[in-house]
Structure 1
Amino acid sequence: MRLTIQRDELANNLRDLIGIIVGCIIGGFGISLFLIPFKASPGGAAGVAQIFYYLFNVPAGVMMFIINVPLFIAGIVIFGKLFGLKTVWGIFWLSFWTDFFNGDRFLGIEVLQGFFFRINEQSVSFTNEIFLGVIAGSLLLGLGAGLVIKFNGSTGGSDIPALIIRKYLGLTVGMSYFIIDSLIIFSVGIIFKNPNLILWGFVSLYVTTKATDFVVEGLSYTKELFIVTTRGEEIKRYILQDLDRGFTLLKGEGGFTGEQKEVIYVALHTRELPKLKAKIKEADPGAFVVVNDAYEVMGDFRR
């Protein structure tokens, strides 16, 4: 039994390590062949690496690794073993693939020469349009980062500074990310004396974040509702008979009035939501309703 568990753990870890590499390949491709050529910074270590790449000709991947290693050590010192092997693995491979996909190395391959555009002295890209470059690069970086997260890894970047800010300044992780990435994006625009790069940087950050969320969470076709009502019979009957859905009943009490209320919890398909909302409004106009996205529903649920 123990041998089987160990074998399963080994298989899961191996799957994670391979998945992280695949994510880093996709992310490195997007950074090197789309974002760096147009100086479009989505923040993080990749954004800082761009600055050193153009000012001092330091390979972006090498710079990303140099930035991430002390951050990783600081994370261990401050938080303990919060970030383990898979973070080091992700940092290394994203740095490696970012430099591997430097477009200049492919210009020597005759069959590929027609696919590349020289954007500046230091970079080439698959496109000579900044809009296409920013969108494509950000999508690829987001998809790659999402895969890394999905396989329980991390590529460093803003992760550890954001946690440090949360620990010592009390800000949320989301706000910490925003502050760090915004500072990097503004720095790129100021250093290269191009305010357009600031706008493109925020576009890149937004697209990257959305693409990452899509990979990690998927599309939400399911909604969950909490319905707090004093007239629940008609609503419950409608859910059971018309929508053919089950629900869970909770007992609630108004915090201000002390009035006893029913709380109906139900998960359903997005297309059923307007019908149920209309029924709730008809049966109990004063009902308190909270609607959330449900990215995954396990158990007996008809999709």
Structure 2
Amino acid sequence: MNLFNKKPIYLDYLLIIAGTGLIALGIQWMYDPSGFVTGGFTGIGIIVKQVTIGLTEGGIPIWLTNLALNIPVFLLALKLKGRRFIARTAAATALLSAWLYVIPTIDMAQGDPLLAAVFGGVLFGVGMGLVLLAHATTGGTDMVAVLIRRKLRHYSVVQIMQVLDGTIVIAGLYAFGLKIGLYAIISIYIATKVSDALMEGLKFSKAAFIVTDHYKEVADALLEKLDRGVTGLRAVGMYSGDEKCVLYCVVSKKEIVDLKEIVVSIDKNAFVIVSDAREVLGEGFVENH
């Protein structure tokens, strides 16, 4: 059974536990020791910890700031959006605060900001990807953006989040300096790419357009050997004016090599176009649920 295909709800919560744990590792082992502010309430927590070091030993801990900021946001979201909307995100937020409380702050990068940016981005990105795969978020500016959009409907949630997180990152520049801020931006980019790759990679497929005079033989071979559906599209060659049948077939990444070998074995002059299919729903692929 595919883990992400009609998975039981407890698997979602296992993903949330693992994802929030990785996010916390990225924050406690990479971001916090290096002074990286990457947006969100955890970014605010890093700033608050820095500016309160003189007020209390070690400053106000990140987990406490994260929890204190999220509580009123969730109460407002509960009132405006309902319990179902925030259930998994509430669990993710609580778990992230718990992980931040349990995991000690360790400078694993040993003062190297580039290492902190790269490995922090990877840890944060993988963790966030797992949380998103469980249909949850870690609260913070995500939830604030959703609530703000109720009043500013001509802006998207993503646009509002960009403004909120951008403001937090700019505040981090004042707290930690320009150089650290630039490294933090690198880490944000890496985390975003890793998170996107994790989500898209699980559904990533290849789409092939096949132009061949032996379309019947090629289609039969693909159906028999790959057990994949093939669609014939009527087309006209604009140079020759001849009617043609273009085959369209979607396969997994591993099967694209077999597809090309099958086509070439039947028609060495076939014209094959292969492109990425970012998400495929249906029989043999991820089901929509």
Is 1:48 paired with 2:44?
yes
Q: Which amino acid aligns with 1:17?
A: Y
Q: 1:82 to 1:171 in 2, by over 3 A?
A: farther
5+ residue gaps in structure 1? 1-8, 104-115, 117-123, 254-259
Q: 1:171 to 1:264 in 2, by over 3 A?
A: farther
Q: 1:232 to 1:160 in 2, by over 3 A?
A: farther
5+ residue gaps in structure 2? 1-5, 53-58, 236-242
Name the structure 2 match of 1:212: 195
Matches within 5 A, 1:1-303: 12-56=8-52, 57-103=59-105, 124-125=107-108, 127-167=110-150, 168-192=152-176, 194-218=177-201, 222-225=205-208, 238-241=218-221, 246-249=228-231, 265-270=248-253, 271-272=256-257, 291-294=276-279, 298-299=283-284
Asked if 2 retains the 8 angstrom alpha-carbon contact of 1:219 and 1:295, the reply is: no
Q: What SS class does the counterpart of residue 102 from structure 1 fall into?
A: coil
Tell me the C-alpha RMSD between the 2 structures.
Answer: 4.0
Asked if 2 retains the 8 angstrom alpha-carbon contact of 1:224 and 1:293, the reply is: no
Q: Distance in 2 between matches of 1:21 and 1:179?
A: 29
Q: Distance in 2 between matches of 1:273 and 1:206?
A: 35
Q: Which amino acid aligns with 1:64?
A: N
Name the structure 1 match of 2:240: none
Q: Which amino acid aligns with 2:183?
A: W
Q: 1:294 to 1:263 in 2, by over 3 A?
A: farther
Q: What SS class does the counterpart of residue 8 from structure 2 fall into?
A: helix
Q: Which amino acid aligns with 1:45?
A: F
By how many angstroms is 1:236 displaced? 6.4
Measured against aligned partners, the alpha-carbon deviations of 1:104-138 in whole angstroms (never above 9, x if no partner) come to xxxxxxxxxxxx6xxxxxxx445221111222222
Q: What SS class does the counterpart of residue 128 from structure 1 fall into?
A: coil
Q: Distance in 1 between matches of 2:156 and 2:244?
A: 34
By how many angstroms is 1:68 displaced? 1.5
Asked if 2 retains the 8 angstrom alpha-carbon contact of 1:224 and 1:294, the reply is: no
Q: What SS class does the counterpart of residue 209 from structure 1 fall into?
A: helix
Q: 1:77 to 1:127 in 2, by over 3 A?
A: same
Name the structure 1 match of 2:239: none
Asked if 2 retains the 8 angstrom alpha-carbon contact of 1:247 and 1:264, the reply is: no
Asked if 2 retains the 8 angstrom alpha-carbon contact of 1:43 and 1:201, the reply is: no
Q: What SS class does the counterpart of residue 278 from structure 2 fall into?
A: strand
Q: Which amino acid aligns with 1:59?
A: P
Q: Distance in 1 between matches of 2:96 and 2:131?
A: 10
By how many angstroms is 1:204 displaced? 1.5
Q: Distance in 1 between matches of 2:190 and 2:246?
A: 37
By how many angstroms is 1:55 displaced? 0.7
* Structure (1/2) with the larger helix percentage: 1
Q: 1:75 to 1:300 in 2, by over 3 A?
A: closer
By how many angstroms is 1:269 displaced? 4.5
Q: 1:220 to 1:152 in 2, by over 3 A?
A: closer
By how many angstroms is 1:82 displaced? 4.9
By how many angstroms is 1:189 displaced? 0.7
Q: Distance in 2 between matches of 1:300 and 1:179?
A: 37
Q: Distance in 2 between matches of 1:183 and 1:101?
A: 27
Name the structure 2 match of 1:119: none
Q: Distance in 1 between matches of 2:85 and 2:162?
A: 21
Asked if 2 retains the 8 angstrom alpha-carbon contact of 1:51 and 1:188, the reply is: yes
Q: Which amino acid aligns with 2:89?
A: T
Q: Distance in 2 between matches of 1:179 and 1:250?
A: 47
TM-score between the two structures when normalised by the length of structure 1: 0.68
Asked if 2 retains the 8 angstrom alpha-carbon contact of 1:34 and 1:134, the reply is: yes
Q: Which amino acid aligns with 1:89?
A: A
Q: What SS class does the counterpart of residue 104 from structure 2 fall into?
A: coil
